[in-house]
Amino acid sequence: MNQNTDDKPIDLGIFNSRGRGGITSAEIIAIVLSVLWIAGVVLFFTFAPKGEAGVTLDPVVFVMKFLAIFLPIAVIWVGALAARSARVMREESSRLQASIDAMRHTYLEQTHAGHAGIQPSVEKKLEEIAATAKQTETAIATFASARSNPEEQSPDKPAIPNGTAPEGDEQTSLALGTTAEDMAPPVSVNDFVRALNFPDDPDDREGFAALRRALKDRHVARLIQSAQDVLTLLSQEGIYMDDLKPEHSRPEIWRSFAKGERGRSIAPLGGVHDRSSLALTSGRMRQDPIFRDAVHHFLRQFDKTFVEFEPNASDQDIVALSNTRTARAFMLLGRVTGTFD
């Protein structure tokens, strides 16, 4: 096979020797020094006084003169060749280092792509499976409650029946006959849950209607007002309940809390794990006494109201309540204050 003589040389990467020909600065300096030295030697022997004629030259003297003339030139060129070799080695080292860096960069990119693409996808799938399992468990419990207690599923079922006041109620009723509040129908479970979630936006007419109906109940109105206060204060720290994704607990854990159990058995109620929100809330609790008083007042109101709500609520009602903004605030603030410890 004929080979074209005009073909370009093949690039051999880090072992490519192109560009190494030509005279370098070290060799130019060596040539100049050699020429100057030879010129100096010529001038020396030209103008040096001549010895006696007919005297035989001593071999030792001849060797010394020869070394004195040519040894400096040899040293100069040894230095020039050493400098050239050092330059070549530096170039090879630079190319080799560049190649190693490129391979390392490629390896890191492939590793990062593997961890960022495959590993997180697997973890995400596992988290989705766990979340689905929890939702299925809650749905099964809710469905079982709905099947076993069909009479509790009425949309007009009262959340807190009239005549039931939480223990420790600050106000006492006066013997002045029946009040308008006693004559008003009790707030339904649907309105109670909808009111605790607050309207979604200014156009949420059903939410505002449920809130107005719930505010007619004095005890529910206290919880709603205290929840509104803490939600407003939390929003000043950039904490919004819609951004929290708590782990929901089973209805029986909420019922245990209503019956007075505390400690590790009800720890799952503190399902908020957002570190930023927990840290900001904890810092505000330590620094702001007004915020701290509002939080404790809210927790007391939620505790008292939920105790009265739980006996008349189905598991489905408790699950719906746990998804409200008020319940999320209770989970967050209860965990910060150690309510679930």
Please write the tens of the pLDDT for every residue from 292-333.
Answer: 999 999 999 999 999 988 888 888 888 888 889 999 999 899
CB count in 10 Å sphere of residue 256: 17
Long-range contacts of 34-43 (CB under 8 A, 24+ apart): 34/73, 34/76, 34/77, 37/72, 37/73, 37/76, 38/73, 41/69
CB count in 10 Å sphere of residue 242: 8
Predicted confidence at residue 129, as pLDDT, reads: 60
C-alpha 215/C-alpha 197 separation (Å) is: 13
C-alpha 315/C-alpha 307 separation (Å) is: 14
C-alpha 255/C-alpha 265 separation (Å) is: 11
Mean residue pLDDT of the chain comes to 76
C-alpha 141/C-alpha 91 separation (Å) is: 73
Predicted confidence at residue 98, as pLDDT, reads: 82
Residue from 282, 284, 252, 289 nearest 269 by CA: 252
Q: 126 exposed, middle or buried (CB, 10 Å; 0-12, 13-18, 19+)?
A: exposed
Question: Tokens standing for 171?
Answer: 């106000």
Say if residues 279 and 332 touch (Cβ distance below 8 Å): no
Predicted confidence at residue 175, as pLDDT, reads: 47
Residue the block writes with tokens 């007004």: 290
Predicted confidence at residue 231, as pLDDT, reads: 93
Say if residues 321 and 327 touch (Cβ distance below 8 Å): yes
C-alpha 326/C-alpha 136 separation (Å) is: 24
Say if residues 117 and 272 touch (Cβ distance below 8 Å): no
C-alpha 254/C-alpha 268 separation (Å) is: 9
Each residue of 23-78: pLDDT tens digit? 778 888 888 888 998 888 888 878 777 655 545 557 777 778 788 888 888 888 89
C-alpha 241/C-alpha 15 separation (Å) is: 63
Predicted confidence at residue 189, as pLDDT, reads: 86
Sign of the alpha-carbon torsion through 281, 244, 201, 333: negative
Predicted confidence at residue 168, as pLDDT, reads: 47
Q: State whether residue 55 is helix, strand or coil.
A: coil
Which residues in the chain show pLDDT less than 50? Answer: 1-19, 54, 118, 142-148, 150-152, 163, 166-176
CB count in 10 Å sphere of residue 19: 7
Predicted confidence at residue 160, as pLDDT, reads: 76
Q: Helix H segments across 149-199?
A: 180-183, 189-197
Question: Tokens standing for 83?
Answer: 């400098």
Residue 188 phi/psi, 5° resolution? -75, 165
